[in-house]
Amino acid sequence: DSGVTQTPKHLITATGQRVTLRCSPRSGDLSVYWYQQSLDQGLQFLIHYYNGEERAKGNILERFSAQQFPDLHSELNLSSLELGDSALYFCASSVGWGDNQPQHFGDGTRLSIL
């Protein structure tokens, strides 16, 4: 068990809808990272937050947004969903914000768009 909790585990919705994925980092970790893993594109880094502030952006679409709250949990909001957004969404956490920090991953939210 990594100590990172993601909810829900599975989500099924329709095109055009909006969903929110939630992540609780390990106790004491200040950084949260979001990743998308699809069958055709593998793992992709989306965004990194450290102690409530955005630190780095990867291949995150404009339809997607994230935030980290004062209690350090994070939410990833996906809107105007398309079939291609079907994927596993992972959250990871680390103690600090440096690039050499070990990251601990949750078990993901599987999003299926019908």
- Stretches 10-18, 67-75, 79-87, 92-100: which one binds another protein (CB under 8 A)? 92-100
Kindly state whether residue 25 participates in binding another protein, applying the rule CB under 8 A. no
Question: Which residues, other chains included, contact 76 with Cβ-Cβ below 8 Å and sequence gap of 6+?
Answer: 20, 21, 23, 34, 46, 47, 64, 65, 66, 89, 91
Kindly state whether residue 79 participates in binding another protein, applying the rule CB under 8 A. no
Q: How many residues bind another protein (CB under 8 A)?
A: 26
Residue list 37-66, contact with another protein (CB under 8 A): 42-45, 48, 55-56, 58
Kindly state whether residue 102 participates in binding another protein, applying the rule CB under 8 A. yes
Strands (E), the chain: 5-7, 10-13, 19-24, 31-38, 42-50, 53-57, 64-68, 74-78, 87-94, 104-105, 109-113
Give CA separation, 84 vs 32, 40, 47, 114, in Å. Answer: 24, 10, 19, 10
Q: Toward another protein, which CB reaches closer, 72 or 106?
A: 106
Kindly state whether residue 105 participates in binding another protein, applying the rule CB under 8 A. yes
Q: Toward another protein, which CB reaches closer, 79 or 110?
A: 110
Interface contacts to another protein, rule CB under 8 A: 2, 4, 31, 33, 42-45, 48, 55-56, 58, 90, 92, 97-108
